[in-house]
Amino acid sequence: SFCVICTHKEAIFAATMLQQGLCSSKIAINGENHANNKNNKIIQHRTCRVAVHAKASKPSSKASKNATTKRPQTTPEGTKRRVVVTGMGVVSSLGHEVNEFYNNLLAGKSGVSLIESFDTKDYSTRFAGEIKKFSGAGYVNKKFERRADNVIRYIVTSGKKALEDAGLKAGSSKSKALDRQRCGILIGTAMGGMSSFAAAVEALGSSGYRRMNPFCIPFAITNMGGAMLAMDLGFMGPNYSISTACATGNYCILSAARHIQRGEADIMLAGAADAAIIPSGIGGFIACKALSKRNDAPQRASRPWDKNRDGFVMGEGSGVLVLEDLDHALARGARIYGEYLGGAVTCDAHHMTEPQPQGKGVVLCLKRGLEDAGVKAGQVGYVNAHATSTPAGDMAEYRAINQVFPQEDLRMNSTKSLIGHLLGGAGAVEAIATIKAIETGWIHPTINLENPEEGVDPVRVVAGQKQWRNVEVGLSNSFGFGGHNSCVLFGKYRA
């Protein structure tokens, strides 16, 4: 495989991918091709020095002398630290507590409704999975509660709720005992602070730059939610955001887990959020011809795998997991919801918005995810599908899942049928649904499947009513514009 690096941070990320054997040692930096040869190379890139070597080879003596730092080896070579889920936090149109959220999913309750936050009379789509009257009181700093973009408020609130759920409420003795230099945050967003940026553009056009909010740039950039959460918590470990469109949540979870596996952190808050139900967000996706126009029956609009689907339904919200080193969790007596087993990412390299018709990238992603997790296909009992209710995407994914998981007892469903598509936040919220299915044994229904596409088994996709299954391993898919494919796997915790 071939990696292209343009920036300092991308060089670090690519080096990590090489170290983990996720791509071969062939790198292009600012357009210059650096192929590996018999002698390892140190590539100087701005202030970042990257040792490039094949995964089977050892660093040369020259590389060792020139390297400025050495990656800490906290586990025996070739082993990974085990990562478990000890807390979850959610903000959604079906509730802001995890149990409330999941119980509503199990009941088949739709969180989709007519939009109330702005006048939609001139829009061809007038509904969404909108959060009504959200308050971050008690979680978001009072200074920013009324000023910060909703995406930041959602991230901070769900992040702190996840820590509370993990028994690490701010100010508690267990929270104070944490080594904050080994606690990090990796929470992303696909769209960033859209409302803040849109308001700034409007002010610029009507009154000039002097009327622009001085916070318009900080509140718009994608890393600020996780950064502000770190400021509140004092977490000094790895902290950055990833933005890969609607695959963002899975990318963040997967990358956060690897920080723990490599011994760089003991706890990572991982997840994603989006808040794009604003005029430019709805209008932009209408222009893409991506949204359903079922204005007469909004709750029936999101209908994955149904012949009468006409596009996806916009949603909003946030999901955050507390990922924790197993030994660290056991030492503090934490409740363990399940274990993170592994995951993978691939790219279709096909089209900006359309999936590769044969699902080659998805199949590759699923197979690599199984390999990373050390799991056989037959062990997977449940897949939370990406399933957005789009004409092309649903069936391409369905065929890919069936190709990799042919077992008859596999179940898959679509959380988006109930809450719409949370864009970058979708994968994080759906990871919570996957973990709850493993924990409770109950798989929530896919609603609105009234006229299934040819070849779609209503029982297999849990149409209409929840189903009970003893799920040992669950997998969650997320795909994004640009051809980004991702999957993460969770399993029951076994000592």
pLDDT at residue 221, rounded to an integer:
87
Per residue in 32-79, pLDDT (tens digit) is 444 444 344 333 333 333 343 433 334 333 333 333 333 333 455 567
Cβ atoms of 323 and 267 within 8 Å: the answer is yes
Tokens 């997991």 label which residue? 321
Half-sphere exposure of 239 (CA within 13 A, CB side): 20
d(CA 338, CA 226): 24
Who's near 70: CB < 8 A, 6+ residues apart? none
3-state secondary structure at position 434:
helix
Task: Say what the alpha-carbon torsion angle 263, 265, 267, 272 is, to the nearest 10 degrees.
Answer: -110
Is there a catalytic annotation at residue 487? no
Q: Which entry of 183, 246, 252, 365 is annotated as an active-site residue? A: 246
Is there a catalytic annotation at residue 8? no
Q: Which entry of 45, 259, 328, 421 is annotated as an active-site residue? A: 421
Is there a catalytic annotation at residue 252? no
pLDDT at residue 11, rounded to an integer:
55
Cβ atoms of 35 and 26 within 8 Å: the answer is yes
Tokens of 279: 């005029």
pLDDT at residue 67, rounded to an integer:
33
pLDDT at residue 482, rounded to an integer:
81
Who's near 294: CB < 8 A, 6+ residues apart? 127, 300, 301, 310
Q: Which entry of 259, 386, 444, 484 is annotated as an active-site residue? A: 386
pLDDT at residue 219, rounded to an integer:
86
Per residue in 228-247, pLDDT (tens digit) is 999 999 999 999 999 999 99
Who's near 78: CB < 8 A, 6+ residues apart? none
d(CA 410, CA 403): 12
Written as tens digits, the pLDDT of the chain (495 aa) is 444 445 555 555 555 555 555 555 444 444 444 444 434 433 333 333 334 343 333 433 333 333 333 333 345 556 789 999 999 999 999 999 999 999 999 999 999 999 999 999 999 999 999 999 899 999 999 989 888 999 999 999 999 999 999 999 999 999 999 999 999 999 999 999 888 988 889 888 999 988 888 888 888 888 999 999 999 999 999 999 999 999 999 999 999 999 999 999 999 999 999 999 999 999 999 999 999 999 999 999 999 999 999 999 999 999 999 999 999 999 999 999 999 999 999 998 888 777 777 778 899 999 999 999 999 999 999 999 999 999 989 999 999 999 999 999 999 999 999 999 999 999 999 999 999 999 999 999 999 999 999 999 999 999 999 999 999 999 999 998 887 999 999 999 998
Tokens of 333: 């007596």
Per residue in 255-305, pLDDT (tens digit) is 999 999 999 999 999 999 999 999 999 999 999 999 999 999 999 999 999
- Element housing 88 (H / E): strand 83-91
Domain 91-491 has CATH 3.30.70.140: no
